[in-house]
Amino acid sequence: MKTQLNRRDFVLNLASLGLGVSVLPSFGNIPTDNRAEHIIYLFMNGGMSHLDTFDPKTNTEVKGIFNSIPNSVGVQICEHLPNLAKHGDKMAIVRSMMVTTGAHEQAQYLQRTSFKKIGTIVHPNLGAWMCNFQDRGEKISIPQNVLISGPADHPGAGWMPKKYAPIPIADPLRGLDNSVIKNKEEFSKRVSILQRLEQDANKSINPSIKSYSEFYDQTVRLLNSSELDVFDLTKESAAVREKYGNNRFGQGCCLAKRLIEKGGCKFIEVQDGGWDTHVNNFETLENKLNILDNAVSALIEDLQASGLLKKTLIVIATDFGRTPNVNVNDGRDHHPGAFSGVLIGAGIKGGQAYGKSDEKGMKAVEGVMSPSDFNATIAAAAGLPLDQILVSPEGRPFKIADKGEPVKQLLA
Amino acid sequence: MKKFLITFLAWVMVGKIWGQDLNLLSSKVDAVLQKQYSSTNIKPLAKIDDETFLRRAYLTIIGRNPTLEEYNSFSSVEAENKRSELIKFLLKHPGHVSHIYNFWADALRLRERLAPINNFNGAPYIQYIKSNIAANKPYDKFVSDLLLSQGSYFDNPATGYYYRDFGMPLDNLIATSKVFLGTDISCAQCHDDPFQDFTQMQFYRMAAVFNQIDLRKESTEFREAYKNLRNEVDARIKADPEKNRGLNNRINNFVRATQSDLNLALNKQLKLPHDYQYKDAKPNDVVVPATLDGKAVKNSNDLRQSAIEWMLDPSHPSFTKNIVNRYWGFIFGKYIIEEFDNIHSSSLLNSELMNILANIFIELKYDSRQFLFVLLNTELFQRQMYEGAYANSENFIFIGPVKKRLSAEQLWDSVISLTINRPESFQTTFHKQYSENMKVSVSDLNVETLEARLKTNNDILRSKYEAAKRIKGLSLVRASEINDLNQMNTILGQLGRSDRELIQTSSLDGSVTQVISFMNGQMAELAINKETQLFSDLNGKSPTDKIEIIFKSVLARKPTMQEKATFAGLGDDDIVWALLNSSEFKFLK
């Protein structure tokens, strides 16, 4: 009897041939030695005001109360980012971002995944794509995709296997929850009893038991590992930690640095909340910009000192911008028409401001970029194959940045 | 223990409680499988012993391990038909409602934060589903009651089916088709589906059937009163902005949630999308309502009625087979048609096994509990588990149930059953009080009354686990009672429970955080704790008895001679820890 291939078998067969449908993956235009091997993705949750950060305006109707200063290459940024201003040469500011939604949930999802949020599938975040593409099948103890202070509805690995999902660090000061073994002797005794008990199970031919015991192996490796302290911020000197700022975001950035330096992690997202400044925009931002300025400049400086900035791309992303007109509560409201994003370090041509919003910051008018374009540029900077199609278990084909196009001028 | 034994014995003596001879139906299923074995020369796997059967039956029917007390009761019964009697007993156990609820919660995406845009609690809908399961409502009626639901959410929580996808009626339709018809029409939302027979036009015509649904009803009277309320709110904020911070949003969200009333807007028309690209119509054309098979629906007051008739007609190709396939997967660890939400195009749709199962379910008048009994009472359910890998469903023959990791809920509930003697003793009950409190009439539209209602809501929600026992801040309740974002839900998420964003996305994969939870985190803390039932059972027992008790409690079996030797001299904590982390505990045997 002739059996018919169903849709799932069809795509799985294709997938098994080479993980994807496209046969000629393109790796962007980045020379190998310049590619970002690590990405630190800083997400400003709530919608970061572009006018009060990286796209200051002189028009008095919209300017607000902050003044601007030139950064080291003469690009104007907000006066409350004086330390970041020193690193203008490593930094590409994108001033022409645009989305079509003014709702947080949808916009954040779009930023993180390049896809519109729909009810029938969850798309993976950039980190899951990166880990999936770079999976060499080796046994690792330190998880490669990490999410620090992330939200509960983070898309994670989406439709991809769970092993690519970010490991959540709820609080950078606590590190990896429950990873400290109080009684090492007792723990290793227990593990050895377990191993004796599991001798039969290890011989099991069952694929799910096998893959489950691999997680046990990885976890035991991790819990016993000397590397476990990559999650432990107290191992950083007080002076280093202080530079990043004594606050959750600053410490999250410090942990991100540590995870790259000591753990070799590929993708680390650090989220910072509180950017939804409908009320008292300026008062709130003065404080937030100070935090951002200290944390990110400390990150740049430390990574540069260790030589890792050559291999690490730092991204500042957000939901959308904020209204140029200041509202009655001295706040700014959601504004999807124009906003800014920042790319710093490996794979990026620094020392520039790319694209433009109009005189009042209402609309992106030159070099307009969607979140997918922004993500395509990030992916290109990391040398990830933009054209390679991966197929979800339902048989739907996807590319890392959907229809996004990388912007050449931003790439090194 | 006595109480359980009496109930159980009562069951054994009542014997045939259901009118039909269900045993005959189970043998029919076995006969189909037998034919497959003979024609392929493959031998079925051997039968399992009573202990293995006990744990498998408990986990499969009520979703958790048997407690020590339940283990002992079953062991003490000596009756030839004690296995089939145990099945019947467990099908009427409150734990069965919990377990089947988890099955539906995953498919219907049930949670307290029902839809992102809505500000009301999903608890009344959740409770509605649970009581439908408890009442064993015939499956066809269960589906049509959901799909035809009308009225206020707080009077008829079945409308929660539509409120779950508030503002996303097309996604709701895709869900209906996937969950109840095993047919994935999501591609056709945007373009003709090249792999299936559905066109975008068919999709939109079906969508037009459900397009009448209107989820907000506000009377003129209400609007008038609402205006006054707005003025009152504004005046208060003006008078004291500091004290009334957030008042506006709070009152607005609350009042809008209370006006959730599903009614039918008969004149509402659905238009094709602006980028419609096919020749049979123009973009933005009005769509004529029709069922997926292309038959225009009757012009009636509720177009949904015609769609339901089409779905429930015995000749519908996948309505019955969809649920039969899902139940089969639920019991035997693998679906007959692996692509369970898209059985529509499978070559197995009309296989002998699928046909006979569908006929049995129809013959039983969609009585789910009797149908599950038929499956559980087969020889197949009593065979050893198939452990190997399988490439595809087409050639797969069920020589035994398929080995599978316990679900997140089964893991949690099995650990809970180590901590307390009656894991089902706690049930959330706040839905009633909550629904009452949400019924707001026009005369209630003033700030004082509404603030009082809001406060009551907060109190109700805050105290929902108050009656439950706790260890280290975790409530010792079954997973079915945990439907909101809290610490227990976070743990369940680590174990692979779906966040209920999408249909059936729970996972049996491992993860590092999950294993840490068992080795050094909260799952270990729950099980190894002096306040648990297990440790009180161990109190004062001899070392050998202790090993027996721990094995029976955690794995529902006696230790082997070799295991007794291995574990002799070890601490209770260490033994519990090792068994809890064993793959025998994590997987069905």
- B429: CB partners within 8 A, 6+ apart: none
Asked if B485 has any chain A CB less than 8 Å from its own CB, the reply is yes
Element of type H or E holding A38: strand A38-44
Is B404 an interface residue toward A (CB < 8 Å)? yes
Q: How many residues does chain A have?
A: 412
pLDDT, residue A32, reads 62
The H-or-E segment that residue B104 falls in is helix B94-108
CA distance B383 to A115: 46
Among B31-40, B108-117, B233-242, the range with the most confident prediction by mean pLDDT is B31-40
* Best to test chain A binding among B111, B176, B249, B515 (most A CBs inside 10 Å): B515
Alpha helices in A19-85 (DSSP H): 82-85
Give the DSSP letter string of B218-246. --HHHHHHHHHHHHHHHHHHHH-TTTTTT
CA dihedral sign, ordered B7, B12, B16, B22: positive
Pairing label, strands A312-318, A339-345: antiparallel
Percent of chain A whose pLDDT exceeds 90: 68
Q: Give tens-digit pLDDT for B156-205.
A: 999 999 999 988 899 899 999 999 999 988 878 878 876 667 899 999 99
Mean pLDDT of chain B: 92
pLDDT for position A412: 92
CA–CA gap between residue A127 and residue A150 (Å, rounded): 13
Q: How distant is the Cα of B515 from the closest Cα of chain A, in angstroms?
A: 6
Question: Across the interface, do B509 and A143 touch by the CB < 8 Å criterion?
Answer: no
3-state secondary structure B531-572: CCHHHHHHCCCCHHHHHHHHHHHHHCCCCCHHHHHHHCCCCH
Q: Give residue B507's pLDDT.
A: 85
pLDDT in tens, B239-272: 998 899 889 889 988 998 898 999 999 888 999 9
pLDDT of residue B167: 81
The answer for residues whose C-beta is within 8 angstroms of residue B263's C-beta and 6 or more apart is B150, B151, B214, B217
**Residue B216 main-chain phi, psi, to 5 deg:** -130, 135
Using an 8 Å CB-CB cutoff, list chain B residues near A120. Answer: 171, 174-175, 186, 502-503
Q: Which amino acid is at A387?
A: D
Name the token pair of B489: 């839900």
Model confidence at B392, pLDDT cuts 50, 70, 90, reads low
H/E run at residue A390: strand A390-391
For chain B, give the number of residues: 589
Non-local (6+) Cβ contacts of B125 within 8 A are B110, B114, B153, B157, B158, B159, B160, B161, B163, B164
Q: What gap in Å lies between CA B204 and CA B202, rounded to an integer? A: 5
| Across A387-401, B8-22, B27-41, least confident range | B8-22
- B1, pLDDT greater than 60: no
**8 Å CB contact of B566 and A193:** yes
Among B420, B425, B430, CA closest to B527: B420
Nearest CA in chain A to B506: A162
- pLDDT tens over chain A, length 412 residues: 333 434 444 444 343 333 333 333 344 445 566 799 999 999 999 999 999 999 999 999 999 999 999 999 999 999 999 999 999 999 999 999 999 888 888 899 999 999 998 777 889 999 999 999 998 877 777 889 999 998 877 999 999 987 898 998 988 998 888 888 889 999 999 999 999 888 877 777 787 887 788 788 888 888 888 778 899 999 999 999 999 999 999 999 999 999 999 999 999 999 999 999 988 899 999 999 999 999 999 999 999 999 999 999 999 999 999 999 998 888 999 999 999 999 999 999 999 999 999 999 999 999 999 999 999 999 999 999 999 999 988 788 999 999 999 999 999 9
Handedness of CA B156, B160, B161, B162 (dihedral sign): positive
Say whether pLDDT at B412 is over 80.
Answer: yes
What pLDDT was estimated at residue B485? 86
Q: What is the pLDDT of residue A236?
A: 95
CA–CA separation, A150 vs A160, rounded Å?
19
Would you call B558 an interface residue with chain A, using a CB distance cutoff of 8 Å?
no
List the beta bridge partners of residue B587: B405
What are the phi and psi torsion angles at A364 (to 5°)?
A: -70, 125
3-state secondary structure of B380: helix
A348: DSSP letter = B
Q: Does A212 touch chain B (CB under 8 A)?
A: yes
Taking an 8 Å cut-off on Cβ atoms, the answer to whether B501 and A122 are in contact is: yes
What pLDDT, on a 0 to 100 scale, did the predictor assign at position B196? 65
What's the pLDDT band for B18 if we cut at 50, 70, 90? low
CA atoms within 13 A on the CB side of B533: 18
Distance in Å, alpha carbon of B523 to nearest chain A alpha carbon: 11
For B162-191, the DSSP string reads: HHTTTT-HHHHHHHHHHHHH----SGGGTS
List Cβ neighbours of B56 (8 Å cut-off, separation of 6 or more).
B48, B381, B401, B588, B589
- Which of B171, B196, B587 lies nearest to residue A119, judging by beta carbons? B171
Say whether A147 sits in a helix, a strand or coil.
strand
Best CA proximity match to A355, nearest among A44, A74, A75 = A75
- pLDDT score recorded for residue A24: 34
CA–CA separation, B311 and B305 (whole Å): 10
Give A6's contacts in chain B (Cβ within 8 Å). Answer: 339, 345-347
- Tokens at A363, concatenated: 């609309």
Q: Which residues of chain A are within 8 Å of residue B188 when distances are taken between CB atoms?
A: none
Residue A34 confidence (pLDDT): 78
pLDDT at residue B52, rounded to an integer: 97
What lies within 8 Å, CB to CB, of B214 at 6+ separation is: B262, B263, B264, B265, B268
Decide which of 3.30.1330.60, 3.40.50.300, 3.20.20.100, 3.40.720.10 is the CATH code for A7-175+232-410.
3.40.720.10
Query: CB of A209 within 8 Å of any CB in chain B?
Result: yes
Judge whether B420 and B366 are in contact, CB under 8 Å.
Answer: no
Write out the two tokens for A172: 């950078």
Q: Which residue has the higher pLDDT, B192 or B313?
A: B313
* Shortest alpha-carbon distance between residue B501 and chain A (Å): 7
ipTM higher than 0.95?
A: no
Cβ contacts of B575 on chain A, cutoff 8 Å: 193
HSE at residue A32, side-chain half, CA atoms within 13 A, is 0
Sheet with B260-264: strands ordered across: B151-152, B260-264, B213-216
Half-sphere exposure of A13 (CA within 13 A, CB side): 7
**pLDDT score, position B47:** 97
pLDDT, tens digit, for every residue of B448-463? Answer: 999 999 999 999 999 9
Instruction: Domain ranges for chain B, please list them.
Output: 219-249+429-463, 408-428+464-586
Q: What is the pLDDT of residue B293?
A: 87
Tell whether A384 lies on the interface with B, counting CB pairs under 8 A: no
With contacts defined as CB-CB under 8 Å, which chain B residues touch A223?
Answer: 516, 519-520
Candidates B373, B328, B331, B316; CA nearest to B180 is: B316
Whether B512 and A118 lie within 8 Å, measured CB to CB: no
Geometric angle at alpha carbon B24, from B18 and B25, rounded to 5°? 85
Whether A178 and B520 lie within 8 Å, measured CB to CB: yes
Strands A339-345 and A91-97, bridge-based pairing? antiparallel
Residue B265 is encoded by which pair of tokens?
Answer: 């807007």
Q: Is the pLDDT of residue B41 over 90?
A: yes
Contacts of A234 (CB under 8 A, 6+ apart): none
Q: What are phi and psi of A69, to 5 degrees?
A: -130, 155
CA-based max dimension of chain A: 78
β-sheet with A167-169: strand ranges across? A167-169, A145-148, A267-272, A38-44, A312-318, A339-345, A91-97, A352-354
Count of pairs with CB atoms under 8 A, one residue in A, one in B: 147
Q: Confirm if A94 and A374 have CB atoms less than 8 A apart.
A: yes
B350 touches chain A (CB under 8 A): no
B566 CB neighbours in chain A (<8 A) are: 193, 196-197
- CB atoms A209 and B587 under 8 Å: yes
Q: Looking at the predicted structure, is the pLDDT value of residue B541 above 60?
A: yes
Look-up of token digits 């019924």: B439
Which residues in chain A have Cβ-Cβ distances shorter than 8 Å to B581?
Answer: 190, 194, 216
Interchain CB distance below 8 Å, B519 and A223: yes
Compute the average pLDDT of residues B337-363. 93
Chain B residues with beta carbon closer than 8 angstroms to that of A219: 512, 515-516, 519
